[in-house]
Structure 1
Amino acid sequence: MLREDYSVWRCGRHELSLARPRVMGILNVTPDSFSDGGKNLDPQKAVTRALQMLDEGADIIDVGGESTRPGFTPVSPDEEAGRIVPVIRGILEAAPTAIISVDTRHAPVAKVCARLGVSIINDVNGFSDPAMVQVAAETGLGCIVMHWNKLGAGSSRRSVTLDSVRPARSVPTSTRRFTLPEEAPIMREIMGFLGDQARILMRAGVKRECICVDPGPGFDKTADEDVVIQRATRKLTSMGYPVCCAPSRKRFVGAISGVTEAPQRDFATAGVVLSAVEGGARVLRVHDVAGTAQAVNSYWAVAKNDARQGFISLGSNVGDRIGHLTQAVRLINEIPLTCVVQVSHAYETEPAYGIATPVVNAVAEIRTELHPTVLVEALMDVEAKLKRVRDPRMAGHGPRTIDCDLCWVEDEEHAGAKLTLPHPHLGERDYVLVPMEDLMHDPARFLIHAGVPVYAPGDRVGHVTAEIGELDWQ
């Protein structure tokens, strides 16, 4: 299919597709951050909030242990690590495939976090410390290079004196004034710094595809300057690196929206973010993950033609099992911005994961323009329409009229309790892999190429015992 953007941001063991915008949830483990200081200082509260953001649609969790608000008090690397290390450990214990960014300007902290399993270093000093450059080169993590150099060219509002075009003995000149400072010197300085730092990283051994740039809104910049920078997002993307948009609740957002209190600026932040997305920004660093995800996903769905391939595993072991599978496929085909392309035959399979009775399984191939977290909600609605009952004592493995598992979506990687993509058990399930053979030549090879480990047939669970036949869903 044709896409505007095929770029991939390589972040350690993750390859994050930027074919659509990605939401980075801010997790401040600090007592003094400008809008949410102290809320997540307790490690358990911080972990809980991180997992909540993943379910709200965050693709990345950005964990920071030092506030960099205006007038901030610096903390030592030891104190910063003491705040964030337990949180990072807790997140990865609960969601091992989560993509975590560490927001730090201290190389020792970045190095410790790399060993814990973080995927991104977000350095507000733009990797101006050679020790941080060395950490980036040694670890292969994703790098966010931020601009925090004070703008030196001056950025007062422009005025231009216009001479009259009519010849006259005494014609007064007129002055045209502008609401914003001139863009060229501001962007020349910011893009020059970001480009220089990116080249320093690459000369040290960091791969180009690991680098993302951030113009640093709010960091020693006036509101006027920040607006100029946001309007120039398209110029930033022309540098060839992914662009991070990080305006969340900043002072300039309050200036343009008239909202005084920082925690109340989320709607205004969403407006700035959508403008940046239209300009090509693909990493969106925000406090309000749920609201931003809703705004961006809705915008993307109506503004972009961006259908993705996906596979849904269907299973039933109660009542009219074939009938339940058939009805589920019909309901899936009715989901907005989604269509069923083809469906495998139905197969009798051995029970697995504590299920007591044999299951009838099939796999549906779909095309969808919905965000995966939106699609999974629609699939849960399908289950509800077919009267599935979930027994909390059986951890989701009890009898079911229908089970709709979103197993894989093209270019999508997600972690969370509500949805993990690719499905963490996809490669071990015979009752998914065998039906997929009806849909493609070699599903094992397809999934391995997509980064999914696939078990040998004898090592799988839920083995297929018989083919039942086609589903008459059309």
Structure 2
Amino acid sequence: MARYVSNAAFSSLPTPEPLQCGRFTLTFERPLVMGILNVTPDSFSDGGKFAMRGDALRQAERMMVDGADIIDIGGESTRPGAPPVPLDEELERVIPLIEQLRGAQVPLSVDTYKPEVMRHALAAGADLINDIWGFRLPGAIDAVRDSQCGLCVMHMLGEPQTMQVGEPAYQDVVSEVRAFLEERVAALTQAGVAKRRISVDPGFGFGKATVEHNYALLAHLPETAPHGEPPFPILAGMSRKSMLGAVTGRAAPERLAASIAAAVCAAERGAAILRVHDVAQTVDALKVWAAMHDATRRG
């Protein structure tokens, strides 16, 4: 399995504390790569490619060989304007896949906001719940509280069907995202969820009114996380998103180079987890980035 140089001196920023993630404890001496596995017919860049279970299993195996540290399984598209998927349909897409992959040597994440999907996914063997709603829906915290799974709390203004309609308004996008994440982390810890289980995501492209908002979040990535010592792990997910198309003029399938550049920029700014479609290429880019930092450290 491909791996790249570990070096705790990559950044002057403090290293996040380890993340309790179901069967695993994740440490962040280097950024971890989360491979996206969309088992949907309508995701914005790879919809339909892995909707058949055999194709999804082969893609999961390929990403692990390519160096994925986490596999993130999604059974419902959350692209802008996407319609919700019925509960039974999402369960049918996701749960058998978890059951077939649960012997994997990397954590299995499930990208869902539905409490019932969370419960079934954890029972099937999922290690992490990645919730675009930030565990705000009724029953979401109850669904995860008594497990040992990791949690990713994302900021989103609005909801997928409407989040880019009109002009989502911010006075200061960085501080407002941080305030939202602080409130959600407080809600989780007050409910009895240990801090060591929580990571955060500023939600690139989710209810951000302008391209400038997204790049402000990237430029000030450490400031988007709730204050803490050590800091919470930050997940950055920009792979193939419209914020990249806006500056390159390229359609989603043509945004590989831009996605890699965004991932390296996020790593440089302290991202602990990089959520990507193109695992092998991102791992290669991080190897070069790591080698440069290692040479700098040694002088």
Report the CA distance shift for 1:128/1:306 in structure 2 as closer, same or farther (over 3 A): farther
Q: Is contact 2:42–2:48 with CA below 8 Å preserved after alignment?
A: yes
Are the counterparts in 1 of residues 214 and 243 from structure 2 also a CA contact under 8 Å?
A: yes
Deviation by residue 1:48-98 (Cα, 9 ceiling, x = unmatched): 1001000001000000000011110101221101011121122225x2x33
3-state SS, counterpart of residue 274 of structure 1:
helix
User: Where do 5+ consecutive residues of structure 1 fail to align?
Assistant: 156-183, 308-336, 338-474
Aligned residue for 2:60?
A: 50
**Equivalent residue, structure 1, for 2:253:** 263
The structural deviation recorded for 1:236 is 2.6
Aligned residue for 1:139, secondary structure, equals coil
Higher relative contact order (Cα pairs below 8 Å, separated by 6+ residues)? 2
Shift of 1:237: 4.8
Picking from 54, 57, 63, the partner of 2:73 is 63
Residues 97-246 of structure 1: matches in 2 within 5 Å?
Answer: 97-150=105-158, 154=169, 185-221=172-208, 222-237=210-225, 239=227, 240-246=231-237
| Other-structure match for 2:238 | 247
Counterpart code for 1:246: G
Among 2, 5, 8, the residue aligned to 1:3: 8
Pairing 1:72–2:82 present: yes
Q: Give SS of 2:146's match.
A: helix
Query: Gaps (5+ residues) in structure 2?
Result: 1-5, 10-14
1:2–1:263 distance in 2 versus 1, CA, 3 Å:
closer
CA 71–237 in structure 1, closer or farther in 2 if over 3 Å, else same: closer
Distance 1:43 1:9 in 2: 29
What amino acid does structure 1 have at the position aligned with 2:217? I
Which aligned segments of 4 or more residues in structure 1 are displaced greater than 6 angstroms?
none
One-letter amino acid of the counterpart of residue 262, structure 2: V
Q: Conserved in 2, the CA contact under 8 Å of 1:218 and 1:252?
A: yes
The equivalences for 1:354-373 within 5 A come to none
The letter for the 2-side match of 1:285 is: R
Distance of 1:51 and 1:290 partners within structure 2 = 12
The structure richer in strand per residue is: 1
Aligned partners of 1:107 and 1:30: how far apart in 2?
19
TM-score, structure 2 normalization: 0.87
Displacement after TM superposition at 1:224 (Å): 1.6
Counterpart-to-counterpart distance in 2, 1:46 and 1:36:
12
Q: Indicate the SS of the match to 2:206.
A: coil
Contact 1:237 1:281 survives alignment (8 Å): no
For residues 394-443 of structure 1, the C-alpha deviation after alignment (integer angstroms, 9 at most, x for no partner) is xxxxxxxxxxxxxxxxxxxxxxxxxxxxxxxxxxxxxxxxxxxxxxxxxx
Distance in 2 (CA, whole Å) between partners of 1:3 and 1:273 is: 18
CA deviation profile, 1:302-353 (whole Å, cap 9, x unmatched)? 214799xxxxxxxxxxxxxxxxxxxxxxxxxxxxx9xxxxxxxxxxxxxxxx
Letter of the structure 1 residue corresponding to residue 197 of structure 2: C
**Aligned-partner Cα distance in 2 for 1:6–1:125:** 23
Task: State the AA in 1 paired with 2:259.
Answer: T
Deviation of 1:238 after TM superposition, in Å, equals 6.5
Contact 1:11/1:119 (<8 A) preserved: yes
Contact 1:44 1:87 in 2 (8 A): no
SS at match of 1:23: strand
Structure 1 SS opposite 2:65: helix
Q: CA 1:6 to 1:245, structure 2 compared with 1: closer, same or farther past 3 Å? A: closer
- In the TM superposition, residue 138 of structure 1 has moved relative to its aligned partner by 1.3
Q: Secondary structure at the match of 2:139?
A: helix
Give the letter for the 2:286 counterpart. Answer: V
2: CA distance between counterparts of 1:128 and 1:138? 17
Higher radius of gyration, 1 or 2: 1
Q: Is the 8 A contact 1:153 1:186 kept in 2?
A: no
Within 5 A, what are the aligned runs for 1:446-457?
none
Other-structure match for 1:366: none
Does structure 2 retain, via aligned residues, the 8 Å contact 1:153–1:185?
no
**Match of residue 3 from structure 2:** none
1:293 paired with 2:283, answer yes
Q: Residues of 1 paired with 2:78 and 2:95: CA distance?
A: 19
8 Å CA contact 2:23–2:107 kept in 1: the answer is no
| 1:412 matched residue in structure 2 | none
Provide the TM-score with structure 1 as the length reference. Answer: 0.56
Q: Matched residue of 2:78: which SS? A: coil
Shift of 1:199: 0.8
Once the two structures are TM-superposed, the CA of residue 153 in structure 1 deviates from its matched residue by: 7.8
AA at the equivalent of 1:255: A
